[in-house]
Amino acid sequence: MRIGLVCPYAFDVPGGVQFHVRDLAEFFLAQGHEVGVLAPVDELTAELPAYVTSCGRAVPVRYNGSVARLTFGPVTSSRVSRWLEEGEFDVLHLHEPVTPSASLMALWASSEPVVATFHTSNLRSRAMHAANPLLRSSTEKIRARIAVSEEARRTVVRHLGGDAYIIPNGVDTRRFAPDGALTRWSGTPERPTLAFLGRIDEPRKGLAVMVAAMPAILDAVPGARLVVAGPGEVEEISSALDPRVRAATEFLGSVSEDDKVALLRSADLYVAPHTGGESFGIVLVEAMASGAPVLSSDLEAFTAVLGPSPAGRTFPVGDGAALAAAALDLLGSPQERARLRDLGLKRARSFDWGVVAERVMAVYETVIEGADHSPVEPALRAGLLGRLRWPSRGEV
Amino acid sequence: MDVLQVATIIALVLLALSWYLSYSASRLDRLHAKVEGAVSALDAQLVRRAEATLELATSGGVDPATALLLADAASEALDRHTHHPLSHDPLDGQTFAGREGTETDLTETLRAVLSDETVQGLRLEVGSAGAESLSRVEASALRVQLARRFHNDAVREVRRVRAKKVVRLFRLAGHAALPQRVDFDDDLPPAVVD
């Protein structure tokens, strides 16, 4: 199958959507499909994988309440059309199709069957409502809508109407599978390791909640250590801490992928005290795949990832005391942690790219089947007026 | 204002109106074509699901009572399909010819029959006819879900455009029947979900 994927954000800048597109492309390539990716770049000299075509330089611009690196304008437009013509794709898979960037332009120019994946859960309604009449005849070209989470689906329903099928983000679980090796973070019963991942200066990642819970944890388990991996001003955060908590906390700053995996594998408890803004808890899947018992806030995105028979413990969002109580309970019970670990490893498998990409492929096949059956000459014609329309690309 | 100016303005207005009408008509055309494609994709997946179920019934991998239940529900669904082929009757096809009942029955039978034990038992015998038809049932049941949702989305879009005053006034939809949603139970059996 010839698959065209379009990513709206600069491909050489790390980000959830970019990783999603990259992993999906590489999975289908490995299966023997022909895959092309169209995306903007941040640095024109950036090294790109062979399957990626650049549609121009991304420009930082304010959209949807934050600064995003997007691409637009006539140069991009002609590159998008050229890529579509040369690609001759059987199916076109656009990511974030209503973001004003490459995906929207590809949607505009496309004549092949279109699948769209919606990632965000925080679309601004004002922008969407203003643009709706403008976008409507384009969004009508979409034959299948995918949302990566229940929250993303609700956003689609609210702003575009209709529905979307939920296919979660994928994770390469083999990369995280526990290997039993001891690392510098491996804990002992007296000195258990609690792991925290995420930007330390971004409030919604919840470091403040974690830190608030630490005194109670240290009272009961004096040897407990908190390992914090994530970028941010360490000095600033650390100096504001209670001295006892500071002594028990190790700040790693931003870490490499390998170190992240090693930390998760060695953690006695992975704590996710996020307070909001998470559309999909990919980091929870990674922790589960690494065999780290999960303790997370009860955000909807997180409880969805943990599943119906939860593969992790939750506490009310922002509640440091509840976090401390749950953490102590788990630290005191190796059996319960072992149970969560096994459940987590099993649960993580349903987010493996093997399973997830299979579902995406099912969507492609369904859409192509529908497109093949569409009558070449539509049964109805609106009299003379029907002949006065503009020819769209590919049907001159 | 002289006559020429008035005539020019009228001509421009008429031109704009006719462009807008033709644009709306072709948009409606495209949406109808999308619905027709979606309904035939759904039909194809339903036939595949019924055929795979029949295969599972005759694979020898399940006990005779299970086999009979599966065969009964699957042949009922195939029967309905043969007597109401969509391609022969586009009008009937768009209302799905009342097949919702038999498809719901098939879904319910699959859910009742494919218990955790049965599914595990079938999956253990890798490469057997039973295991292979089970995976075909799973694959087609998933695609039925997808196809039905995509179809209903397409129906909603057509209906929204057709509800517009301009479209109704100028009869831009011609004689095409108003597409209907297709609603039936297509939940996957819990045992095959993970």
The domain spans of chain B are 3-193
DSSP 3-state of A356: helix
B128-182 pLDDT tens trace = 888 999 999 999 999 999 999 999 999 998 998 898 888 888 888 877 788 888 8
- The percentage of chain A sitting over the pLDDT mark of 70, rounded to a whole number, equals 90
Helix, strand or coil for residue B28?
helix
A190 pLDDT more than 90:
no
CATH 3.40.50.2000: does it fit domain A174-349? yes
Residues pairing with A39 in the sheet: A54
Question: Looking at the DSSP assignment, which residues form a beta bridge with residue A249?
Answer: A226
- Which pLDDT does position B95 carry in this prediction? 58
Query: Per residue in B75-120, pLDDT tens?
Result: 988 888 777 666 555 554 455 767 888 899 999 999 988 888 888 8
Check CB contact of A44 with chain B, cutoff 8 Å. no
Asked if the model's pLDDT at residue A1 lies above 70, the reply is: yes
- Confidence tier at A389 by pLDDT (50, 70, 90): very low
β-bridge mates for residue A68, sequence order: A61
CB pairs under 8 A between A and B: 119
How far is the C-alpha of B47 from the C-alpha of B43, rounded, in Å? 6
pLDDT at A127: 60
Neighbours of A250 (CB within 10 A): 13
Contact present, A17 and A8 (Cβ < 8 Å): yes
Alpha carbon B112 to its chain's center: 23
A107 touches chain B (CB under 8 A): no
Asked whether the beta carbons of residue A137 and residue B29 sit closer than 8 angstroms, the reply is no
Strands A34-41 vs A2-6: parallel, antiparallel or unpaired: parallel
| Per-residue exposure over A336-358, b if at least 16 CB sit within 10 Å of its own CB, e if not | ebeebbebbbebbbebbbeebbb
Q: Which residues of A touch B143 (CB under 8 A)?
A: 362, 365-366
Q: Which residues contact B2 (CB under 8 A, 6 or more apart)?
A: none
Query: What sign does the CA torsion over A356, A360, A365, A366 have?
Result: positive
A373, A381, A392: best to mutate for the B interface, most B CBs within 10 A: A373
Q: List C-alpha distances in Å: A349 to A138, A174, A301, B20, B132.
A: 36, 9, 18, 52, 21
Say whether B25 and A350 touch across the interface (CB within 8 A).
no
Separation of alpha carbons A169 and A64, rounded Å: 22
* Domain-wise residue ranges, chain A: 2-170+354-388, 174-349
pLDDT > 50? residue A246: yes
Interchain contact, A385 vs B25, CB within 8 Å: yes
> Is 50 exceeded by the pLDDT of residue A72?
yes
Decide whether A2-170+354-388 matches A174-349 in CATH topology: yes
pLDDT (average), residues A216-230: 93
Residues of B in contact with A288 (CB under 8 A): none
pLDDT bucket at A311, cuts 50 / 70 / 90: very high
Q: Which chain B residues have a beta carbon less than 8 Å from that of A378?
A: 29-30, 32-33
Quick check: A161 contacting B, CB < 8 Å?
Answer: yes
Q: How many whole angstroms separate alpha carbon A321 and alpha carbon A336?
A: 20
Q: Quote the pLDDT of residue A346.
A: 92
The set of residues, in sequence order, having a beta carbon less than 8 Å from that of A253 and lying 6+ positions away, is: A229, A230, A231, A232, A234
- pTM comes to 0.80
**One-letter amino acid for residue A72 of the chain:** F
pLDDT at A225: 93
A8 and A104 Cβ atoms separated by less than 8 Å = yes
In this prediction, residue A88 has a pLDDT band, given cuts at 50, 70 and 90, of: very high
Distance from CA of A49 to the nearest CA of B (A): 32
Question: Is a pLDDT exceeding 70 seen at residue A100?
Answer: yes
User: Which residues on chain A are in Cβ contact (under 8 Å) with B188?
Assistant: none
Is A379 an interface residue toward B (CB < 8 Å)? yes
Alpha-carbon distance A277 to A61, whole Å? 21
Domain A2-170+354-388 class in CATH: alpha beta
| Torsion on CA atoms A144, A145, A149, A152, rounded to nearest 10 | -170
Across chain A, mean pLDDT equals 86
Q: In A, residues 321-360, which contact B (CB 8 Å cutoff)?
A: 350, 359
- State the pLDDT at residue A378: 41
A157 touches chain B (CB under 8 A): no
Confidence tier at A382 by pLDDT (50, 70, 90): very low
Burial of A315 (0-12, 13-18, 19+ CB in 10 A): buried
Helix (H, G, I), strand (E, B) or coil at A41: strand
Question: 3-class SS at A138?
Answer: helix
- What is this model's ipTM? 0.78
Instruction: Say if residue A297's pLDDT is above 60.
Output: yes
In A8-124, which ranges are continuous DSSP H helix? 16-30, 74-87, 102-109
**Contacts with B152 from chain A: Cβ below 8 Å:** 162-163
Q: Which two tokens stand for residue A127?
A: 């922008």
Core vs surface per residue A113-136: b (16+ CB within 10 A) or e = bbbbbbbbbebeeeebeeeeeebe
B179 CA: distance to closest CA in chain A (Å): 13
CB atoms within 10 A of CB A275: 16
Which DSSP string corresponds to B121-159? HHHHSTTSHHHHHHHHHHHHHHHHHHHHHHHHHHHHHHH
SS3 A227: strand
CA B65 to chain A, closest CA, distance in angstroms equals 31
Q: Is the pLDDT of residue A333 over 90?
A: yes
To the nearest whole Å, the CA of B158 is away from the closest chain A CA by: 9
pLDDT value for A65: 63
Contacts of A394 in chain B (CB under 8 A): none
Q: B150 to chain A, minimum CA–CA distance in Å?
A: 6
Cα(A105)–Cα(A206) distance, rounded to whole angstroms? 37
B38 touches chain A (CB under 8 A): yes
Distance from CA of A55 to the nearest CA of B (A): 28
* Reported confidence tier of residue B9, pLDDT bands at 50, 70, 90: very high
| Residue B86 in contact with partner chain A when CB distance is under 8 A | no
Whether pLDDT at A170 is above 60: yes
Tell me whether residues B29 and A381 touch, CB distance under 8 A: yes
Cβ–Cβ of A165/B149 closer than 8 Å?
A: yes
